Amino acid sequence: MGLFFYLVEFFLPPGLRNNSTDLLRGYVLVGLIFTNVIISALVTLGLVFLLELGDRTPLGIALNAACVVGYLVSLAVLKRTENYQLCANILLGTLATVIFGGVQITGGFATSPILQLILQLPVTAFLLLGLNAGLVWTGITMLLGSTLYLSMTLNVGYVQLLPNTSVIEPFSIMLQYVLITMVGGALTIYEIMNTVLTRSLDEERNRFEHKASHDDLTGIPNRFEFFRRIQSAIAEAREREHKVGVVYIDLDGFKPVNDLLGHHIGDEALRAVATRLQRALRLSDTTARLGGDEFALILPGINVPTDIEIILPKVLDAIREPIRIENLDVVVRGSCGVAIYPDHSDDHDALCRYADKAMYHAKEKTDTYLVYTHDLPPISEARN
């Protein structure tokens, strides 16, 4: 399977990778070409070793070889032009021509064992080209069938080149298995490729969504994701009549770390703080980085003041613990401001403002937390 995917990747032109639908059909097309080449090789072996065609064996091999040539031409066209519609139509045209000619030289519409292969045309067309082209090729298939029937009715245009009737039955059985393998193989390839591409697209979408909603440095939710989650937490708390804590955190002493030790040390310190905050909280809580050295927490379903008195000291302890970076012990402190839904407000913007205000008042003492009250004085314009 690994070699199969390698071959498909090698022959698939880069121009088809810009659209997921084209990419899927391109994968199916290349995969189907290789599958049919393998089937043609097996049929050739069957013609040589299983059927007693006598001097008609080269004719059967020639028909098979014509199919293989058509497959390889369509593959070359795909690689050169990046036009999978043209490639698919060449493939289908080759099949239609070989099937029509094969039927006419093996007894015509009434007796030819090759006629059953005509069913592959509309199935392949729908898989490779979609609804409109599939309907067109269904019409072409019906037209071919009608032409073959008319040829039989008028008793012109066909011959029986099989050496004897005893060959027709085993030949027909072999071709039934070929048809089942071709159609089943096409559907199997489609499902495999569809599953692989769907999984790949889902993973890529998840990566983009994670990147858009999470901080590049620390890997925790960013400001955008924080505000989305706080609205969701408030909506859920309103429904369940729970409380939600909103905590703003500012790191005291972080600027000297950046200025004196370098930004790479500061970045490592921020990562360590983010990790410690997550470890100190419950799985249901949210830790986010708002920017710079500011973090925020969402604490759903808390009891006030009991849980606040337990959680916030743990948060401050986690922040103040020395951070070992390059044989240096980096020490920072935290100042935390807390606002509670619905005690202080039922609006997420107001809660964030109140938590921010309480945080800046907590910075006056440093390494402490402060729960918002409506009588807190205004924040000075000069914030330290």
Q: How many domains does the chain have?
A: 2
How far is residue 186's CA from residue 100's CA, in Å, rounded to a whole number?
Answer: 21
| Mean pLDDT computed over 241-248 | 96
pTM: 0.58
Could you tell me if 239 and 191 lie in one domain?
no
Same domain, 355 and 230: yes
Give the β-pairing of 333-341 and 294-300: unpaired
Residue 81 in any domain: the answer is yes
- Going by C-alpha positions, the residue among 249, 247, 261 that lies closest to residue 320 is 249
Spatial strand order of the sheet with 333-341 comes to 286-291, 294-300, 244-252, 333-341, 368-371
Distance CA 238, CA 30 (A): 55
* 376 assigned to some structural domain: no
Q: Is residue 244 part of a domain?
A: yes
DSSP symbols for 8-43: HHHHS-GGGGGSHHHHHHHHHHHHHHHHHHHHHHHH
Residue 47 in any domain: the answer is: yes
The reply to whether 144 and 245 lie within a common domain is no
68/231: higher pLDDT: 231
**Shared-domain flag, residues 240 and 298:** yes
Q: Name which residue leads in pLDDT, 173 or 164.
A: 173
pLDDT per position as a tens digit, 7-28: 777 777 777 777 777 777 777 8
Q: Span 172-191, mean pLDDT? A: 82
122 close to 145: Cβ distance less than 8 angstroms: no
Round to whole Å and give the CA distance between 25 and 330: 56
Q: Where a domain ends, among 187, 211, 235? A: 211
In this structure, what DSSP letter does residue 160 have?
A: B
Looking at the structure, do residues 195 and 114 belong to the same domain, yes or no? Answer: yes
pLDDT in tens, 21-53: 777 777 788 888 888 888 888 888 877 877 766
380 lies in some domain: no
Task: Supply the pLDDT for residue 338.
Answer: 97
Q: Which of 211, 236, 271 is the C-terminal boundary of a domain?
A: 211
User: What are 335's strand-pairing partners?
Assistant: 250, 368
Shared-domain flag, residues 174 and 80:
yes
Contacts 24+ apart (CB under 8 A), 70-73: 70/94, 70/95, 70/97, 70/98, 71/33, 71/36, 71/37, 71/40, 72/33, 72/37
Between the two ends of the chain, the Cα-to-Cα distance in Å is 63
CATH code at position 356: 3.30.70.270
Considering 190, 211, 232, which residue would you say is the last residue of a domain?
A: 211
Q: Is residue 189 part of a domain?
A: yes
Over residues 339-345, mean pLDDT: 96
- Same domain for 314 and 275, yes or no, is yes
pLDDT at 219 over 80: yes
Owning domain of residue 13: 2-211
Average pLDDT over residues 81-104: 89
Q: What confidence tier does 163 reach under pLDDT thresholds 50, 70, 90?
A: confident
Residue 297's DSSP bridge partners are: 247, 287
199 in the same domain as 245: no
Q: What pLDDT, in 10s, does the model give residues 267-318?
A: 999 999 999 999 999 999 999 999 999 999 999 999 989 999 999 999 999 9
C-alpha span between 336 and 365 (Å, rounded): 11
Whether residues 128 and 252 fall in one domain: no
- Give me the percent of the chain exceeding a pLDDT of 90: 47
- The amino acid present at 174, given as its one-letter code, is M
In a domain, 379, yes or no: no
Q: Same structural domain for residues 262 and 165?
A: no
Same domain as 139, residue 14: yes
202 and 259 share a domain? no
Q: Is residue 190 part of a domain?
A: yes
Can you tell me the distance from the alpha carbon of 177 to that of 165, in angstroms, rounded to the nearest whole number?
19
